[in-house]
Amino acid sequence: MALEASVVAPVLLFTVLNALENLALSFITAITRVKTGVLFGSGAAKADSEDGEAHVSRDTSLLLTQYSRAHGNHTEMIAVHLLLLLGLTLAASVEGVGYGLTELALYIYGGIFFVLRTMHTYALLRSDAFEKAHIFRPIGFVGNLTLMGAMAVHLFVGYLSAAGAI
């Protein structure tokens, strides 16, 4: 059974957008690692070395932690989101599942997630991220968790519908 291109298009679009954002974060982290000479971890072990010499400054260690977490956090969240979006895409392609599993719903879920994730990432990458939390950070975090919860419920309702339970 072939899926219609219009149903698959949203998951493809948001997979590409999230992958490009993730690649940019990976590149930012890698460039910072090369510039600082810290190829693993945050450099904190080098900053607190036993010989008493600070091989890596505290600021460099914090910067690496900040970039690594922005990249890691993005990677963790998009994996779950894209699995949910793929599940919703498959459910939308099944005749009779219904419950609002439309192409528009897939674009809305994908678009909102991408915007919220980008907001959260922006807040994590700000130069003052360790001093104060930018408003985009909690909005992005809570928004993404809420959205993924809604997606999971929507997918479960689709499952129950397909199983004939509702």
Q: Give the sign of the dihedral formed by CA 157, CA 161, CA 163, CA 166.
A: positive
Q: Taking all residues of the chain, what is their mean pLDDT, rounded to a whole number?
A: 86
- Residue 33: pLDDT band with limits 50, 70, 90: confident
User: Is the pLDDT reported for residue 120 higher than 90?
Assistant: yes
What pLDDT, in 10s, does the model give residues 88-108? 988 888 765 566 678 888 999
CB 119 within 8 Å of CB 139: yes
SS (H, E, C) 9-55: HHHHHHHHHHHHHHHHHHHHHHHHHHHHCCCCCCCHHHHCCCCCCCC
Q: What is the CATH number of the domain that holds 98?
A: 1.20.120.550
Domain extent for 52 = 5-162
Rounded to two decimals, the pTM is 0.84
User: How is residue 77 written in tokens?
Assistant: 């969240």
Q: How many domains does the chain have?
A: 1
